[in-house]
Amino acid sequence: MMLTGDRVPMFKLRPYHGLLLAAVFTAVVGGLLSAYFFIEDAYCTGCNRGLFILIVTLILTVLLIIVAFSRYGFSHLRHHRPGYKRG
């Protein structure tokens, strides 16, 4: 069974897997580092460092996820030709 051009999925719209892996790695390392600072010194500057690292980690993770799924923002790539068969 051969796939015709109309039935082939658009693989160019997949998210960037490398950026998703980088987001997971950033979240894990940042979470562990902030937990280390929270546990080490919960009453002094360590807690502030842990909170700062946690906020930076969350921002970086969200930005990496947004960039990884940026291909979905290009609606001109999802055009349908007149002979396009749905189903």
DSSP string, 31-77: HHHHHHHHHH-SSSHHHHHHHHHHHHHHHHHHHHHHHHTGGGG-GGG
Residue 9: CB atoms within 10 Å: 8
Burial status of residue 49 (CB atoms within 10 A of its CB: 0-12, 13-18, 19 or more): middle
pLDDT per position as a tens digit, 28-64: 999 999 888 888 665 666 678 888 999 999 999 999 9
pLDDT bin (cut points 50, 70, 90) of residue 22 is very high
Full-model pTM = 0.68
55 vs 51: CA distance, rounded Å: 6
